Amino acid sequence: MTAKRILIVEDEKAIRDMIAFGLRRAGYEVSEAEDCRSARAQIVDSRPDLLLIDWMLPDMSGLELIRTLRRAKDTEEIPAIMLTAKVEEQDKIGGLDGGADDYVTKPFSPRELLARIQAVLRRAAPAGGSDVVEVEGLKLDDSSHRVSTGEREIALGPTEYRLLHFFMTHPERVFSRGQLLDRVWGGSTYVEERTVDVHIRRLRKALEPFSLERLVQTVRGSGYRFSTRES
């Protein structure tokens, strides 16, 4: 399982840095935004697993940001936690009504924040939450079991689908043939390692018409990698 990615939307740099530091230590991949405009841009193109949103922001209230996100189909499932300095119950309820999954009142302990983040992430999983991954226009929607690029649909066999799904959820990392057999085929089966090559080949062939085969890269001597960057 890849590290979960969290986006912090908070205008005060000091607080942002402190939170980011704590989360990185806990193994999360953290990105930051200081206003709603840049937050939305980042959300759309990097699809974080969770959002930490400050209540007060320069351009738009955090609550509004959440409401906006909930209205769009591809962002509605991203869980969000509100950070607020206000303590009035009314505001807390407002935060929940607007679609935040939880809220944390400042000042808060790093530990409390971590606990809540974990709780929210755990909760998102069984719901079958954000099971759509998108990289370079290649979109894989696990709930509908579809792979497409823009308009056109890409047909994949079951194994190629699982392979691509695994790659897309674990990008930028090299996997040996043995590891892929373990994680994509399942640990209990025995098949030749070279079989992986063949399925890689089939996956590439399916992506070729869309010039996306470059995403599946060979790392000579080590295995394969799914990456947007050229090797």
Partner DNA sequence: AGGACCAGTCACGTAACTGTCACATCGGGC
Partner DNA sequence: GCCCGATGTGACAGTTACGTGACTGGTCCT
The residues that touch a copy of itself, with contacts defined as CB under 8 A, are: 25-27, 70, 76, 89, 92-93, 96-97, 99-103, 111-112, 114-116, 118-120, 122-123, 126-127, 143-146, 153, 155, 157-158, 172-174, 219-222, 225, 227, 229-231
CB of residue 149 to DNA, shortest distance in Å: 19
> Dmax over Cα atoms in the chain, in whole Å?
62
Angle at CA of residue 30, ends 132 and 80, nearest 5°: 60
Smallest gap from Cβ 211 to DNA, in A, equals 14
Q: How far apart are CA 175 and CA 188, in angstroms?
A: 18
Cβ-based nearer residue to a copy of itself, 34 or 103: 103
User: In 10 A of CB 132, how many CB atoms?
Assistant: 17
Judged by CB under 7 A, does residue 222 bind DNA?
yes
What are the backbone angles phi and psi of residue 69, rounded to the nearest 5°? -60, -40
**Binding letters toward DNA, positions 135-174, x by CB under 7 A:** ----------------------xxxx--------------
Is 72 a binding residue for DNA by CB under 7 A? The answer is no
Q: Which does 49 bind (CB under 5 to 8 A by kind): a copy of itself, DNA, none?
A: none
CB of 211 to a copy of itself, least distance (A): 20
Residue 13 or residue 123: which is nearer to a copy of itself going by CB? 123
The length of the chain, given as a count of residues: 231
Q: Are 168 and 221 in contact (CB under 8 A)?
A: no
Per CB under 7 A, which of residues 195..214 are in contact with DNA? 195, 197-202, 204-205
CB of 114 to DNA, least distance (A): 39
Tokens describing residue 154: 């890409």
State the amino acid at position 49 in one-letter form.
D
Q: Are strands 146-149 and 152-154 parallel, antiparallel or unpaired?
A: antiparallel
Regarding 73 and contact with DNA (CB under 7 A), the answer is no
User: Tokens 């303590």 map to which residue?
Assistant: 87
Residue with smaller CB distance to a copy of itself, 12 or 172: 172
Q: How far apart are CA 197 and CA 175, in angstroms?
A: 12
Question: Closest approach of Cβ 79 to DNA, in Å?
Answer: 25
Binding site partner of 17, from DNA, a copy of itself, none, Cβ cut-off 5-8 A by kind: none
Alpha carbon distance 35, 58 (integer Å): 6
Rg (CA), the chain: 20
List the beta bridge partners of residue 133: 140
Question: Which stretches of the chain bind DNA, using CB under 7 A?
Answer: 157-160, 185, 189-192, 194-195, 197-202, 204-205, 218-223
